[in-house]
Amino acid sequence: MTTPPITSRLPEVGTTIFSVMSALAAEHGAVNLGQGFPDFACDPALVDAVTHAMQTGHNQYPPMPGIPALRQAVAAKIEALHGRRYDAEREITVTAGATQAILTAILCCVHPGDEVIVLDPCYDSYVPNIELAGARAVRVPLTPGSFAPDFGRIAAAITPRTRLLVLNTPHNPSATVWTAEDMRRLEALLAPTDVLLVSDEVYEHMVFDGAEHQSAARFPGLAERAFIVSSFGKTFHVTGWKVGTVAAPAPLMAEFRKVHQFNVFTVNTPMQHGLAHYLQEPSHYLGLPGFYQAKRDLFRNGLAGSRLRLLPCTGSYFQCVDYSAVSELPEMEFCQWLVREIGVAGIPLSPFYGDGFDQRMVRFCFAKQDETLRAALERLRRL
């Protein structure tokens, strides 16, 4: 007997670079600064809140869009931070993580033949999501080196077929953030169009040096066309819980929920209750910029005397470095060599580009215990 053949929906997709580098790190006993997740525990109070929810019987299906208490807490948080009031009943939905949120947003509004603009380098789920919707991804590169948006190129990429633009700030992998002026320029650029926006803001609470996160919610011309995606996993150090949220105007959210109810229906009940309770104390997320800035500074200071050139890190929990003074190897080969010979795993930037653009840059994740970072720094200083 033979298995019938199948025509792949994603023929170009293989194993992700994150899985490849994590496996290589495990094989060689390397310090893994590759995949973007913490190696430290979350607040025990959050675990206690979830445990309490389980013990008190919150273990059956919740409402499809999420439990009211959590949606209300999210709406209150957005209003307090960004000044826009979302209706918790009609405009906030709890999702099975940010990746599901982004896929659902794309599927609910993108049709075969449409075009979706993504800004390279970009997170690796965006383009496969677009292709699953039968659309075409139009890659517009950010400015090499600075990763600043090139609004001339973005404007030139908009055609009558453009349905959606995907924005990510703070940005993975470059660790840059969009300024208020950047957001206003995008607002003006999209104003005469019907182009929708997916604003991936999962690192919203990791913006440094006293700067503020410029959410699309702050800009009326963007908010009225945006699906704004957030992640409790990133914010509260529980990436394995896979719980996120989307905020969008009611007409957009109505379409979002049509897809959401048929790809996950709803999201883990006790986690939602625990998160709703935990969000009542704003310090749990307001303290994150200082927490991660301390880790950023520890890592950057430790590399200051090395031959790795540090790129600016204004947001997220990533640090990019230029290794051109160390090696002429292409990024993928250098990262493999770094694991085998130095004992530290990073992620090459080239897989985040559609054309594999190679700048001799590596991304490290500093969402790690200080002792993990110090162990990595001791090895990296050998370069």
Share of the chain above pLDDT 90, in %: 94
Which pair of tokens denotes residue 153?
A: 């190129």
Q: What is the pLDDT of residue 197?
A: 98
In eight-state DSSP terms, residue 350 is G
Confidence at 6, pLDDT banded by 50, 70, 90: very high
* Three-class SS of 208-277: CCCCCCCCHHHCHHHHCCEEEEEEHHHHCCCHHHCCEEEECCHHHHHHHHHHHHHHCCCCCHHHHHHHHH
- Asked whether 322 and 215 are in contact (CB, 8 A), the reply is no
What are the φ and ψ backbone dihedral angles of 347, each rounded to 5 degrees? -125, 130
Please tell me the CATH code under which domain 45-283 is placed.
3.40.640.10
What is the arithmetic mean of pLDDT over 57-62? 98
**What pLDDT digit, counting tens, does each position of 306-359 carry?**
999 999 999 999 999 999 999 999 999 999 999 999 999 999 999 999 999 999
**Side chain identity at 218, as an amino acid letter?**
R
What pLDDT digit, counting tens, does each position of 74-92 carry? 999 999 999 999 999 999 9
In tens, the pLDDT along 263-288 reads: 999 999 999 999 999 999 999 999 99
Average pLDDT of the chain is 97
H-helix segments, 133-194 = 151-157, 180-190
Q: How far is Cα 239 from Cα 37, in angstroms, rounded to an integer?
A: 7
Alpha carbon of residue 138 to chain centroid: 19
Question: What pTM was estimated for this model as a whole?
Answer: 0.96
pLDDT score at 1: 80
* Strand spans (E) along the chain: 31-32, 92-95, 115-120, 136-141, 162-168, 196-200, 226-231, 244-247, 309-310, 318-322, 344-345, 347-348, 361-365
Determine contact, residues 163/135, Cβ cutoff 8 Å: yes
Domain residue ranges of the chain, discontinuous segments joined by +: 17-36+287-380, 45-283
Query: What contacts 65, CB < 8 A, 6 or more positions away?
Result: 71, 92, 93, 94, 257, 260, 266
Does residue 170 have a pLDDT over 90? yes
**What was the pLDDT predicted at 12?**
86
Instruction: Note the pLDDT of residue 105.
Output: 98
Tell me what pLDDT residue 130 has: 98
pLDDT tens-place string over residues 231-267: 999 999 999 999 999 999 999 999 999 999 999 999 9
Does residue 134 have a pLDDT over 90? yes
Topology of domain 17-36+287-380, CATH:
Aspartate Aminotransferase, domain 1 (3.90.1150)
Q: Is the peptide bond before 62 cis (omega within 30 degrees of 0)?
A: no
Q: Give the pLDDT band (50/70/90) at residue 196.
A: very high
Percent residues over pLDDT 70 in the chain: 100
